[in-house]
Amino acid sequence: MTHSDIRKPFPWHILVFLGPGLLIYLTVSVYPLLDTLRLGFFSEDESGATFFVGMQNYANLLFSEVWSEPFWNALKNNLMFFVIHMLLQNPIGLLLALLLSSPRLRLSGTYRTLLFMPTMLSVVIVGFVWQLLLSPLWGISEDFMYNIGLGDYFDAWLGKEGTALVTLSLISVWQFVGIPMMLIYAALLNIPEDLNDAGVVDGANSWQIFWNIKLPLLLPTISMVSILTFVANFNAFELIYAVKGALAGPNFSTDIMGTLFYRTFFGFQLQQGSPTMGAAVATLMFLIILIGVAIYLFFVQRRIQRFQL
């Protein structure tokens, strides 16, 4: 014990307040993450005993014949998944937020409630819903496409190698558009009316007001939405697993980091599951997310702060 204890009684109340939360957080979150980073440097034999192998797992994942192909494939698909979200989910969310915040809009609260509804549902449920809707067996989408004169373009999108990933991304965009919408909407409400009014008085049209006044003020929110999207996308698993199973078919065309992690850890078909290889995949996911967060913290946020008043 330190000598400060002699002068002051031990601050038990701090321990009582901080203890329970910190203990659970350290044991169930911090320690497992550190242990996973450690396990990535190990390998195991049939008996389950682990031994140190240095960078071997990572060399395998990045370069070996068996591992590197699935890894780069999953990374590429995951990037695609992310890019589609950035190109569609966040701009659509921004547009909806702008419309929702138009002054004296009737039914604004109702729209808000209804538009956010899909976001509340479980990703698994949403996956199944769309699987049914897009199924050629049921034919709802096919009928719909015929009715608007695009019947010839209908295809079993979820089942085709070339379209499955894009279709799944669009389903995810459909579900989560509510999050950028709400966050940007809240930010828009916090922009003082005076700024808009000043723009109107100076003769700016709606587009100019958006581009020169609102957008710069929204940048912190938009970049926060972007990093949230990044982390969520590189951590995604449920949608692919619900619709395509752990094999992320057809022919791994919808495989992303989350499903690769799951398969590597638990094994599938002929390949045995491996906790250490799984830990290595998780470590790489950790690094990817860390790079994203670092870019956000050091570049985007710093630059934006300079623009703030």
Partner 1 sequence: MLNKMTLTMPWSGMNKLTLKPDLGKKLMVHAVLLTYTVIALFPILVILINSFKTRKAIFNDPLGLPDASSFTLVGFEEVLARSSFDVFFFNSLIVTVLSLFFVLLFGAMAAWALTEYRFRGALFIAALFAMGIMIPIRLGTVSILQLMVDLDLVNTRTSLVLVYIAQGLPLAVYILSEFIRTIPKELKEAARCDNVSEYKIFFQIVLPLIRPAMATVAVFTMIPIWNDLWFPLILAPGESTQTITLGVQQFIGQFVTDWNAVLSSLTLAIAPVLVLYLVFSRQLIRGLTAGAVK
Q: What is the footprint of partner 1 within residues 78-117 (CB under 8 A)?
A: 92, 95-96, 99-100, 102, 105-107, 109, 111-117
Q: Please state, in angstroms and rounded to a whole number, the distance separating the CA atoms of residues 147 and 301.
A: 47
Among 5, 20, 150, 151, binds partner 1 (CB under 8 A): 20
Cβ 36 to partner 1 shortest distance, Å: 5
Among 87, 150, 290, 291, binds partner 1 (CB under 8 A): 290
Dihedral (Cα; 70, 76, 77, 82), 10-degree rounding: 140
Angle CA 186–303–295, to nearest 5:
90
- Contact letters (x/-) for partner 1, 30-49, by CB under 8 A? xxxx-xx--x----------
Q: Please state, in angstroms and rounded to a whole number, the distance separating the CA atoms of residues 181 and 89.
A: 9
Among 74, 158, 209, 282, binds partner 1 (CB under 8 A): 282
Written as one string, the DSSP assignment of 234-279 is TT--HHHHHHHTTTTSSTTTT--HHHHHHHHHHEETTEEP-HHHHH
Closer to partner 1 by CB, 65 or 203: give it.
Answer: 203
Residue type for position 272: Q
Closer to partner 1 by CB, 104 or 306: give it.
Answer: 104
Is residue 79 a contact partner of residue 169, using CB atoms and an 8 Å limit? no
Output Rg (C-alpha) for the chain, integer angstroms: 25
Closer to partner 1 by CB, 86 or 289: give it.
Answer: 289
- Contact letters (x/-) for partner 1, 182-201, by CB under 8 A? xx-xxx-xx-----------
Closer to partner 1 by CB, 65 or 272: give it.
Answer: 272
Is residue 217 a contact partner of residue 191, using CB atoms and an 8 Å limit? yes
The CB-side HSE value for 198 (13 A sphere, CA atoms) comes to 8
Q: Which of residues 124-183 bind partner 1 (CB under 8 A)?
A: 124-125, 128-130, 132-133, 138-140, 143, 174, 177, 182-183
Q: Which of residues 238-257 bind partner 1 (CB under 8 A)?
A: 238, 241-242
